[in-house]
Amino acid sequence: MQPRRLKMTSDVPLARGLGSSSSVIVAGIELANQLANLNLTDHEKLQLATKIEGHPDNVAPAIYGNLVIASSVEGQVSAIVADFPECDFLAYIPNYELRTRDSRGVLPKKLSYKEAVAASSIANVAVAALLAGDMATAGQAIEGDLFHERYRQDLVREFATIKQVAKENGAYATYLSGAGPTVMILASHDKMPTIKAELEKQPFKGKLHDLKVDNQGVRVEAK
């Protein structure tokens, strides 16, 4: 491959739970794919990205776009892609970082069998509800997470207030994006403007960003 000069522009903030590491991994793989004419399939890109990242949770949706359910067990990587239901996202991005390794430090070392079964059942309902387009049930399941949020939410001082304001104004769910500290709100098109307006009244120092589901994933565009 011939030497190249590259210019990178990214609007994904670092250490905010928004997938900056997975974004750069997927971008790097696609860059190599294009410049070296590797002709990688999406699944091959996923395998490479998962090996680098350590899990497919964020790299899979970055590659495929839309709603992705993925797993990696003993080197076998699988991903299922489905259409995401019609809705809006609002991200509150704090003006401070929260390193993943720090947020992992508050998690318990292990869960009991009973807790693991309960947490898995809630996650299963969340996925099934999204696939069925039942946003009310999906929202309840997302907010009912037992794997991580109850341990991490106190690390994000704005979380409780944002969740309360969003709930009072009809949001489906409020949850931590990744390991935090970004807080994500999921709501219908008609409810989101009011939720955003109410949150803008709060004395927070972070920023609110309207987000949409990317249903294309990684792509190359000529300019």
Query: Could you tell me which residue, 56 or 98, shows the higher pLDDT?
Result: 56
Q: What is the CATH number of domain 88-211?
A: 3.30.70.890
Cβ atoms of 149 and 175 closer than 8 Å = yes
Cis ω before 85 (30° cut-off from 0) = no
pLDDT digits (tens, 9 = 90+) for 39-94: 999 999 999 999 999 999 999 999 999 999 999 999 899 999 999 999 999 999 99
* Mean pLDDT for all residues in the chain: 94
pLDDT digits (tens, 9 = 90+) for 114-145: 999 999 999 999 999 999 999 999 999 999 99
Half-sphere exposure of 46 (CA within 13 A, CB side): 25
**Largest Cα span, the chain:** 57
Residue type present at position 30 = E
User: Average pLDDT in the 187-199 region?
Assistant: 98
User: Average pLDDT in the 20-38 region?
Assistant: 94
Measured distance CA(192)–CA(166) in Å, rounded: 9
List, by residue range, all CATH 3.30.230.10 domains of the chain.
Answer: 20-82
pLDDT digits (tens, 9 = 90+) for 156-165: 999 999 999 9
Percent of the chain with pLDDT over 70: 99
Domain 20-82 falls under CATH 3.30.230.10: yes
Beta-carbon count within 10 A of 182 CB? 23
Cβ atoms of 20 and 53 closer than 8 Å = no
Helices of type H across 58-158:
59-64, 100-104, 113-132, 135-143, 149-152
Measured distance CA(97)–CA(101) in Å, rounded: 12
List, by residue range, all CATH 3.30.70.890 domains of the chain.
Answer: 88-211
Task: Give residue for tokens 């341990």.
Answer: 151
Cβ atoms of 201 and 77 closer than 8 Å = no
Q: Is the pTM of this model over 0.85?
A: yes
Q: Indicate whether 201 pLDDT > 80.
A: yes
> How big is the chain, counted in residues?
223
Nearest C-alpha neighbor of 182 from the set 25, 53, 13: 13
Query: Could you tell me which residue, 172 or 221, shows the higher pLDDT?
Result: 172
43, 45, 48, 51: CA torsion to nearest 10: -70
Cβ atoms of 158 and 183 closer than 8 Å = yes
pLDDT score of 193: 98
